[in-house]
A and B are shown apart, each in its own frame.
Chain A
Amino acid sequence: MSPLMMYQLVALGLLAIGLYGIVWRKSLVGMLISVELMLNGAGLSIVSASQLTAADSATGQIATLFVMGLAAAEATLVLAIIVVVAKRFKSAETDTVSRLKG
């Protein structure tokens, strides 16, 4: 088993855990945690693919930096949405929010 494959399998594990969590979790914060796990898997996969093959290493690291920046922006926005939802529905649970009654 080559080193690249080992790192890629760990990244795939993170993706699997994130996908499981996004369905399993009942609260919006829990789903946000799962999304962060998946984004980390993506970053790990990109860096390993660029560092451990003949591809340009700098490009892969820059791409992962962009992923981190997007994750930060996404977390900021989701935090604001969660705060608004929690104010209006008095709970951040997905079952409560899915009533669609405003």
Chain B
Amino acid sequence: MELMAKIAFVVYTLLVLGGGCFAVGAHSLVRAMVGLITSLLGVAGMYMLMAAPFMAFMQILIYVGAVCILMFFAIMLSRADAHGVESGSRRPGKALLSALAFISPVFVIGWVIVNYQPESISIPLEVPLEVLGKGLLDNYALAFELISVVLLAAMAGAVLLAFDKKGRAAE
């Protein structure tokens, strides 16, 4: 990697991991969302660095544009922030329990990553958009259609779940 690429990588790493820590640690859920958005933008920058600009655009469009807005709606509709749900006291030992949750899987995967390294290319090649589109509609057409059905079912289910009938609203 060239020097500029290394600097950019360090900056994006700080964005990704710093934003992630902020997203997990912030007391207010709205602030946690800001941390999440920072982290997502950092990942988009890393896609750019790996010569995958289409993935970077999709990351910003789908995650930052759609999923994060959806989660803001979730925060608003569940009034999760009004009483400061996250700011109350936690059970003692919860931090230790949370740390235990990630130690063993991360240790095992990290050991595998460090010890079993495949051959790495230092300068990645950009995939033309035509190849991606052909792959989606040719080789992976069934998966593409299935994911559309899953998305449709999820949205229909969401509408059904959240829909209030007039007579049952007072329940």
A contacts, CB < 8 Å to B: 2-10, 12-30, 32-34, 36-37, 40, 43-44, 47-48, 51-54, 57-59, 61-62, 64-66, 68-86, 91-93
Contact = CB atoms under 8 A, between A and B. Distances in A.
Interface in B121-161: 121-122, 124-125, 127, 131-132, 135-136, 140, 143, 147, 150-151, 153-155, 157-159, 161
Contacts of B46: 7, 10, 44, 48
B63 A30 contact: no
Contacts of B1: 3
Contact of B67 (A16, A47, A54, A71): A71
Contacts of B125: 51, 57
A69 B147 contact: yes
Chain B contact residues: over half helix, strand or loop, or mixed?
helix
B138 to A, nearest CB: 10
B91 to A, nearest CB: 9
Interface string B21-43: 10110000100110010011001
A54 B51 contact: no
A19 B132 CA distance: 32
Interface residues of B, number: 82
A14 B117 contact: no
A53 B121 contact: yes
B36 A62 contact: no
30 contacts: A4-B120, A5-B113, A5-B114, A12-B110, A14-B17, A18-B20, A19-B105, A23-B94, A23-B98, A23-B101, A24-B94, A26-B86, A27-B85, A29-B78, A29-B80, A33-B24, A33-B32, A36-B71, A48-B50, A61-B55, A61-B127, A61-B132, A69-B150, A71-B63, A71-B67, A73-B147, A75-B67, A75-B70, A77-B157, A92-B78
Given A72-B66, A76-B155, A79-B71, A14 B32 contact: no
A54 B120 CA distance: 8
Contacts of B162: 80, 83-84
B17 A13 contact: yes
A8 B113 contact: yes
A40 B162 CA distance: 27
A14 B169 CA distance: 41
B39 A40 contact: yes
A54 to B, nearest CB: 7
A20 B109 contact: no
